[in-house]
């Protein structure tokens, strides 16, 4: 027993804990690295107070030493943690002082730059809204397609140039990156149990083509309507409404005979130039019209490929490139601008 009434081991443990409290107070008030270092030496140095107390352990019974050693380690760890916190506090204060000296806090803050949707996204959403208003349901499909969906079911013969390696990105002999969104229409018709069906397919497509008006990756929107009595007049009325809502309420369309393997009859669709209202200008090359999309009545061979009877059903399809719509609407002459992510270009939208 000691004069204070505590067993010797308990007294040593209490002294150690009191040292931790004293060290905490000293380090809290330390205003310099020198003061922190002096405090460290005072408590943890070879001749420090903790070491001085621990030297008394030799006078204690061996059974009591482990418990004192445990407390001593806790006190030492606590003081070291306080030292690290004190150093960090001084470093932060020094850094704040440097910032205050180098930054004029009276200047107004920088305005956060607001983001906006990409012009292609804006165009796609506009086209989707128009098509949904015309009664079309949106449909999507894989971008890696089998030859059956991308070519064969669409009545594209094996010798057709579109199947050649220089035009199509092949994964292997029968698998490719889709060259149009028409495979979505094939999948839709194969799943059709009973007409009518009115779908619009939207997505990325891929072709080996690149210049100021063509990109190896671009976006396409296609519409498909299948029912028992669909006529070419239905197609023309749909296209006229589509063009007037996407481009201009005063826009007029004209249809010119054309050829596509999956439609018969087929037509190229022109729109009256919105820049000159059909009078002739540089944009429309003085013709008064601008070619915008392809369309036609679904070829009977396509219906046969998807197990529909061409004697009982009919339908039309049309397709348009999203980039072409955006280039015309915004007066953009180079398709590559859409993919270069130049903020000077994108901020205009």
Residue 110, domain member (yes or no): no
Task: Tell whether 260 and 212 lie within a shared domain.
Answer: yes
Task: Tell whether 21 and 68 lie within a shared domain.
Answer: yes
Residue 61, domain member (yes or no): yes
pTM assigned to the model? 0.64
Task: Tell whether 70 and 164 lie within a shared domain.
Answer: no
Residue 108, domain member (yes or no): no
Structure token digits, residue 244:
């007037």
- 319 and 222 in contact (C-beta within 8 Å)? yes
Task: Tell whether 241 and 274 lie within a shared domain.
Answer: yes
Residue burial 98-134, b: 16+ Cβ < 10 Å; e: rest: eeeeeeeeeeeeeeeeeeeeebbeebbebbeebbeeb
Task: Tell whether 145 and 287 lie within a shared domain.
Answer: yes
Task: Tell whether 260 and 302 lie within a shared domain.
Answer: yes
Domain extent at residue 333: 119-346
Task: Tell whether 93 and 154 lie within a shared domain.
Answer: no
| CATH classification at residue 136 | 3.30.930.10
Residue 76, domain member (yes or no): yes
Task: Tell whether 154 and 34 lie within a shared domain.
Answer: no
Residue 109, domain member (yes or no): no
Task: Tell whether 85 and 24 lie within a shared domain.
Answer: yes
What does the pLDDT profile of the chain (349 residues) look like in tens digits? 444 444 566 777 777 778 777 777 777 777 787 887 787 777 777 777 777 777 766 666 777 777 777 777 777 888 888 888 888 888 888 887 776 677 676 778 788 777 788 999 999 999 999 999 999 999 999 999 999 999 999 998 877 776 775 688 889 988 999 999 999 999 999 999 888 999 999 999 998 877 766 788 999 999 999 999 999 999 999 999 999 999 888 889 999 999 999 999 999 999 988 777 777 787 778 888 888 999 999 999 999 999 999 999 999 999 999 998 988 888 888 888 888 888 888 888 8
Task: Tell whether 89 and 145 lie within a shared domain.
Answer: no
Task: Tell whether 77 and 123 lie within a shared domain.
Answer: no
The total number of structural domains that make up the chain? 2
Residue 28, domain member (yes or no): yes
Q: What region does 288 belong to: left with phi over 0, alpha with psi -120 to 50, or beta? A: left
- Among 102, 136, 153, the domain-final residue is 102
Residue 1, domain member (yes or no): no
Residue 258, domain member (yes or no): yes
């Amino acid at each position: 027993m000691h004069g204070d009434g505590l067993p010797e081991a308990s007294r040593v443990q209490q002294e150690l804990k009191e040292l931790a409290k004293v060290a905490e107070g000293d380090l809290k008030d330390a205003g310099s690295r020198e003061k922190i270092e002096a405090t460290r030496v005072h408590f943890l140095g070879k001749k420090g107070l903790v070491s001085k107390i621990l030297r008394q352990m030799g006078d204690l019974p061996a059974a009591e030493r482990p418990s004192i050693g445990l407390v001593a380690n806790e006190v030492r760890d606590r003081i070291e943690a306080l030292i690290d916190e004190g150093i960090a506090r001084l470093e932060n204060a020094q850094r704040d002082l440097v910032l205050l000296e180098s930054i004029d806090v009276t200047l107004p803050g920088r305005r956060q730059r607001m983001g906006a949707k990409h012009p292609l996204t804006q165009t796609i959403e506009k086209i989707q809204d128009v098509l949904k208003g015309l009664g079309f349901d949106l449909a999507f499909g894989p971008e890696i397609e089998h030859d059956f969906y991308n070519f064969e079911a669409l009545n594209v013969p094996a010798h057709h140039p579109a199947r050649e390696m220089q035009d199509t990105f092949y994964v292997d002999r029968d698998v490719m990156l889709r060259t149009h969104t028409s495979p979505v229409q094939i999948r839709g018709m194969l799943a059709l149990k009973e007409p009518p069906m009115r779908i619009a397919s939207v997505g990325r497509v891929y072709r080996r083509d690149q210049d100021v008006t063509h990109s190896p990756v671009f976006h396409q929107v296609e519409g498909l309507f299948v029912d028992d009595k669909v006529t070419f007049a239905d197609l023309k009325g749909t296209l006229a409404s589509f063009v007037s809502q996407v481009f201009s309420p005063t826009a007029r369309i004209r249809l010119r005979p054309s050829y596509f393997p999956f439609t018969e009859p087929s037509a190229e669709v022109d729109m009256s130039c919105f820049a000159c209202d059909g009078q002739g200008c540089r944009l429309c090359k003085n013709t008064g019209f601008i070619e915008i999309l392809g369309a036609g009545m679904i070829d009977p061979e396509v219906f046969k490929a998807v197990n529909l009877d061409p004697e009982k059903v009919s339908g039309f399809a049309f397709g348009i490139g999203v980039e072409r719509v955006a280039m015309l609407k915004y007066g953009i002459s180079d398709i590559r601008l859409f993919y270069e992510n130049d903020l000077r270009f994108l901020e205009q939208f």
